[in-house]
Structure 1
Amino acid sequence: MRFPHLFRPGKIGSLEIRNRIIGSPMERNYCTAEGRVTQRYIDYLEARARGGVGMLYTEATYVDPRGKGRGLQMGLYDDDLIPQFRKLVRAVQKHGARIGPELNFGGRVVSPEVSGLESWAPSVVPYAGFAPHAMSRDEIEYVIKRFCDAARRAVEAGCDFVGIHGAHGYLLSQFLSPFCNKRDDEYGGDLERRMRFPLEVVTAIRATIGTAVPIVYRVSGDEHQPAGGITLADVTVFAPRLQEAGVNLIDVSAGMYETAWWITQPMEMPQGVLSQSAGPVRAAVDIPVSVSGRLSDPSVAEYVLESGLSDFVTMGRALHADPEFPNKARAGRLDEICTCIACNQGCSDTHARGLPIVCLVNTTTGHEREYAIRPAQSVKRVVVVGGGPAGMEAARILGLRGCDVTLFEREEQPGGQMLLNRNLPGREDMAGHLAWLVTATERAGVKMKLGIEANAELVIAEQPDAIIVATGSMPGLPAIPGIMDSPVVSPYEIIRRPIGGIKRALVIGGGIRGVGVARVLAAKGAEVVLTDPGRELALDIASRSRVLQIQALQALPNVRIHLATTVEALGENYAVLWSSGERTRIDGVDLVVPTQSLLPVTDVADALYERADVPPIYLLGDVRQQRSALEAVQEAAALAHRL
């Protein structure tokens, strides 16, 4: 077997697990407003159980409406929720996987706009403009009872284990964290007193559910809070106390809301980034430990286990991107794994907007029932023009549905704009998805004609029943006086082949293209002036990536950032900037790179629309309207399943 440690059976307490993979408690926004499980949720988790995972959390499950952090979050605060929850449990268990909730109370990070109630916390430490109420002793006892009641419901529903959320800046970790806990009574102060509340919760739950059902406790191994949060040293003291209180497995994560990029690590962070924090915790206890943190490569997961850092690995987005990840890895079908690229666009950022989560690399995720592959009925022969992610995704799905699909791509290598990411610092994994997508498209039987620029005649000659045009967009020139006299260059040219010998470059636009171009040019030794009329950078990428991209840019001594700034004029070697009512001239500019304007490439579509002998034409992606890669592939999947 390729990964013997990953697929070795394990035990948590007396509970036997078929392998060492734990599905993490990702919140999904698939429940009703009252926290009730839906069929969509059942379909989602059942697909992961069928895919071979050893054990699955549901998600952060609120034990009381006052602790509810999201409008469509799962709840287990009332007995009326048990029957539907039991359906979910049985759907997972029938495929041999274990399942349990992650019981949670949000605390200070709960918005009253969501819960409709005042938020409770150990101390009055505001978050997002709301100051929580500092809990009394009676309120502490009330919340402990609510945890116990929810644990009882989980056991009544047939759960294999009960998880407790003590990580990520929610209530239990707020009591443990000196950043959030400013109390001077028996529940605050030194570490011993800060541990008291979470330990009381564990002890009470153990007394409620008995000794047969394992308890799993999730903890942030380090909150990475510069102002003083939970540290790994704290956790190595806390972990043995959790074991004494009745915990059977400690699941190590990281971060809090103020350092959210440590909770859901973006592509700018390496694979297995949290694994080293699990080792000291494992050394401090005699119970199993698991660890999360960008474990989407089975080889990395195997190393974490083989090296003795952890006993289990907790995977969220890896299973979100490919529910069959365990089965494929076990069988050695590694090229078939649809690997998570940690873009966070379809999962964490979509979740933060209160929407049901989806996935950029796997459009079936979250649509397991309606996007099940069914034979096409009305359309049999399809031509796709454009081999970017949207074009290939539509072609792949139609191929799987039995259509005869031909795809034209003018470049020798498909991928469109996504391919450019391989040359942008920190964004390389974005382009990494293309290897899977190209192979999967070919495996679906699509005839890919690369290096051929399609025209109306070529398309019509294929005699299609439907035509999909996904020709994307190309950089345009902003309407700046003098731009044609300036040393202007396409951002795509800079990304593909960075120019050396540039002394001073002006990059116009602070989106991720502008930030990436600025970093590329700075690495070549250029002095870079980056301008944007807005007040924030990189708003077009996921929030966690954005933090790290901006930090990396600001750390470069040869980059000057001018926000709330417009470019008013350009010349052969100068630029005139405007900000706050003042104009500034910059001389010695020998390169200008406008990155904001993208124009749709409509040549093929326009020619086809002129003809009377064409079948239905469908536009996808930027050729229709500028959009994100996530929006483009989701649009492509919806069309391909509808035709």
Structure 2
Amino acid sequence: MSITTDAAPTTTLVTMPLQLGQVRLKNRLVSAPMERNYCDTEGHLSRQYKEYLLERARAGVGLVFTEATYVRADGKGRTHQLGAHDDSCIAPLADLTAAMHAEGALVGCELNHGGRTAQSRISGSPNLAPSAIPCAIAGGEVPKEMTEAEALELVEAYAAAARRCVRAGIDVLSIHGGHGYLVHQFMSPLYNHRTDAFADPVHFLNLVIEAVRAAAPGLAVGLRFSAVEGTPGGLDADATFAIISRARLSQLDFLDVSAGSYEAGEWIVQSGEWQPGFLREAAERYRVFGLPIGMAGRINSPEVVEDLLQAGAVDFVSLGRALHADPDFARAALEGGSYRPCIACNVCIDNLGDGQVGCTVNPGVGRGTVPVPLPRVRPGVSVLVAGAGPAGLTAARDLAIAGAAVTLVDPANDIGGQMALAATMQSTPDFHRFLDWSRAELQRLGVRVQLGSSVDEVLAAQRAGGHEPQGIIRATGGERPAVPHSGGSAAGAPMVVEVRDWLRRGEPTPQACTVWGADAVGMSVADTLASRGASVLLVGSETEIALESGRRAKILAVPRLRANPQVRIVLGATVTAIEADRLQVSVDGGAPQWLDAPGPVLVSHGVLQNGDLHTEDGVTPVATEAFAASKPAGSPSTIRFAIQSGTDAARRLGALLG
């Protein structure tokens, strides 16, 4: 699917206004409530968060939600989550709404309580839930089963938060009834084992709807819910529909369809393997209620947006990752043009438990500061960038935007480096979108790309022609541990080859192979080859598959590997010998044992990234250690850190050449 549109869309549904109750959206684009950890510990918006949201408003989004906003302190799920739990939250929200209204955007707030997913170590208060069922993924604390009186107090907490939002000038309220939070817990048979009036899965929801509606009569009020819970024994599509059909829909102005729960996180934030717009049929079903319908879920291109609107499946789209990766997605949907595409790697959601929510492809978000414009270089400055992986692509683009004449050199025959290899894997099919966009951007900006050439050759030719570059960035990739055995030469000897080298060869899928190394690359290669029919032995010293990756990055691949009868997994293993069709390993320090291992041995032992930035070819060195500011020394490289290092290097060099 194309990621750019050179002309304005031929249809204009996305630009049409939409009435939600008493408020009017200027178009059909909604920035979804997406937690980002950009607040202070008291639940107040930071300047960074305000500027982040304003950037989306300036791009043309009609309605910008903040994030899941806790209505009472014991419902706080993260240390830096947004709150509407007391009056101190009103002034920061009011400041935001005034600024957003000045940009022509409406502001929404999603009212939420974590219930069983909130943990006392975060909130400072014991957590409450419909029933005393812990959430292992959130921390495993056993919640207190609330009394009927406590449930009613929580209903009033939703109303009180709504009144604070009214005072702050918020335009739209959304009740969070999905993703495994408190309202959803009352709805789900997995987490509501009550026998009183609140045993009815719609009872708490209806009380909250009525309370919020009464507290905010002039605002648009809607419900976000999971059309499918995604967990065995939980709410399927029919059960959810039956509950929503009994909700106080006459007091709502819209429905916003999502999916999933904490125990089924793959439904909430989907990987690149999922079909774009996969909730379309689920959203269409709710048309019968006559309310405006919104939808989230892998809406990753303007074409998908327009298709959903043209088909009448939805009235608006809720965009999370697409706008996080680039607010220009909104401009592209409204006016045409290019945008930096989300690659569905899910680094953003995996950051949520660790700190600020960043983005693999957008180095300007989640770094604790308000991004500043690139420095401008002096007229006539030329720069040479060595390496066309994600770091080099980013540095070349940024320096071209800064006004430099840029030459990008790589000995390979195409751009992308290791990211191009990753784009061929089953679990990361959208990675090519960043490379396609980069290629188009380099062409748009006039970057000279020389492939199949070494940097020394190009530099010599430039000097011979009297065109000495004023700056050089070396983004030539990482250092890999040596492969323990070269193999493949002696008769009957196994082929032992570094996995990236094997992938570059374009070898056909073997009938059987060993992947030696259970890191993220090893996981991805084993998963891909197994999906193509290979019998795979995955063996590694690691105690867990892809230990360095976040949960969502491996939420499909690891269970798939474990369930495949053609895959054998041996962890905690030291390989002590390799012979034809077998490996000798010691597991957890035990006695050596031989494992059948036919086919090639593909070694994945990680990559440690580094790089150097020089001006005037080393006369004035500037230390970069490409990832020093972004990750611990010696840790595995990632595409995210490569892109961050590329933009950081470009800024340093741009400042020197300004």
Aligned-pair CA distance for 1:498: 5.0
Say whether residues 1:637 and 2:647 are aligned partners.
yes
* Residue pair 2:382, 2:405 contacting (<8 A) in 1 also: yes
* Residue pair 1:50, 1:324 contacting (<8 A) in 2 also: no
Distance 1:572 1:614 in 2: 52
Distance 1:224 1:7 in 2: 33
Aligned-pair CA distance for 1:535: 2.5
- Structure 1 residues 60-79: aligned runs within 5 Å: 60-79=68-87
Amino acid at match of 1:627: S
User: Which residue of structure 1 aligns with residue 227 of structure 2?
Assistant: 221
User: Which residue of structure 2 aligns with residue 430 of structure 1?
Assistant: 431
Alignment match of 2:143 (pick from 121, 132, 135): 132
Distance 1:501 1:115 in 2: 51
Say whether residues 1:195 and 2:202 are aligned partners.
yes
- Structure 1 residues 445-524: aligned runs within 5 Å: 445-455=446-456, 458=459, 461=463, 463-473=468-478, 475-479=480-484, 486-497=494-505, 499-500=507-508, 502-522=510-530
Amino acid at match of 1:312: F
- What SS does structure 1 have at the residue aligned with 2:330? helix
The CA RMSD measured in Å over matched residues stands at 2.8
Aligned-pair CA distance for 1:500: 4.3
* Long gaps (5+) in structure 2: 1-8
In the TM superposition, what whole-angstrom CA distance separates every residue of 1:314-335 from its partner, at most 9, and x where no partner exists?
Answer: 11111111212122222222xx
Distance 1:97 1:177 in 2: 35
In the TM superposition, what whole-angstrom CA distance separates every residue of 1:479-522 from its partner, at most 9, and x where no partner exists?
Answer: 47989964212312433455448443221012232223224443
Normalised by the length of structure 2, the TM-score is: 0.89
Amino acid at match of 1:220: S
User: Which residue of structure 1 aligns with residue 64 of structure 2?
Assistant: 56
- What SS does structure 1 have at the residue aligned with 2:427? coil
In the TM superposition, what whole-angstrom CA distance separates every residue of 1:287-306 from its partner, at most 9, and x where no partner exists?
Answer: 11111001011212222222
- What SS does structure 2 have at the residue aligned with 1:352? coil
Which piece of structure 1 moves more, 261-270 or 624-633? 624-633
In the TM superposition, what whole-angstrom CA distance separates every residue of 1:320-355 from its partner, at most 9, and x where no partner exists?
Answer: 11212122222222xx1211111111x2111221x1
User: Which residue of structure 2 aligns with residue 384 of structure 1?
Assistant: 385
Aligned-pair CA distance for 1:523: 5.0
Q: Could you say if the C-alpha distance between residues 561 and 457 of structure 1 is closer, same or farther in structure 2, counting changes exceeding 3 Å?
A: same
Alignment match of 1:7 (pick from 9, 15, 24): 15
User: Which residue of structure 2 aligns with residue 104 of structure 1?
Assistant: 112
Say whether residues 1:205 and 2:212 are aligned partners.
yes
- Structure 1 residues 339-418: aligned runs within 5 Å: 339-345=341-347, 347-353=348-354, 355-366=355-366, 369-376=370-377, 380-418=381-419
Amino acid at match of 1:343: C
* Long gaps (5+) in structure 1: none
Say whether residues 1:299 and 2:306 are aligned partners.
no
User: Which residue of structure 2 aligns with residue 252 of structure 1?
Assistant: 257
- Structure 1 residues 589-604: aligned runs within 5 Å: 589-598=598-607
Alignment match of 2:33 (pick from 25, 39, 45): 25
Alignment match of 2:329 (pick from 305, 321, 325): 325
- Structure 1 residues 558-597: aligned runs within 5 Å: 558-580=566-588, 581-587=590-596, 589-597=598-606
Amino acid at match of 1:171: L
User: Which residue of structure 1 aligns with residue 55 of structure 2?
Assistant: 47
Aligned-pair CA distance for 1:308: 2.5
Amino acid at match of 1:328: A
Distance 2:562 2:507 in 1: 22
Amino acid at match of 2:193: K
Q: Could you say if the C-alpha distance between residues 85 and 601 of structure 1 is closer, same or farther in structure 2, counting changes exceeding 3 Å?
A: closer
Say whether residues 1:288 and 2:292 are aligned partners.
yes
Alignment match of 2:540 (pick from 523, 529, 532): 532
Distance 2:543 2:323 in 1: 36
Aligned-pair CA distance for 1:382: 3.0
Distance 1:4 1:290 in 2: 17
* Residue pair 1:472, 1:621 contacting (<8 A) in 2 also: no
* Residue pair 1:480, 1:569 contacting (<8 A) in 2 also: no
- What SS does structure 1 have at the residue aligned with 2:342? coil
Distance 2:184 2:49 in 1: 27
Which piece of structure 1 moves more, 18-27 or 549-558? 549-558
In the TM superposition, what whole-angstrom CA distance separates every residue of 1:340-394 from its partner, at most 9, and x where no partner exists?
Answer: 111111x2111221x1222221223357843323424799443221111111112
- What SS does structure 2 have at the residue aligned with 1:458? helix
* Residue pair 1:267, 1:545 contacting (<8 A) in 2 also: no
Aligned-pair CA distance for 1:145: 1.3
Q: Could you say if the C-alpha distance between residues 95 and 487 of structure 1 is closer, same or farther in structure 2, counting changes exceeding 3 Å?
A: same
Aligned-pair CA distance for 1:59: 0.5
Amino acid at match of 1:266: S
* Residue pair 1:118, 1:133 contacting (<8 A) in 2 also: yes
Amino acid at match of 1:135: M
Distance 1:250 1:525 in 2: 43
Distance 1:612 1:544 in 2: 42
User: Which residue of structure 1 aligns with residue 444 of structure 2?
Assistant: 443
* Residue pair 2:608, 2:637 contacting (<8 A) in 1 also: no
Normalised by the length of structure 1, the TM-score is: 0.91
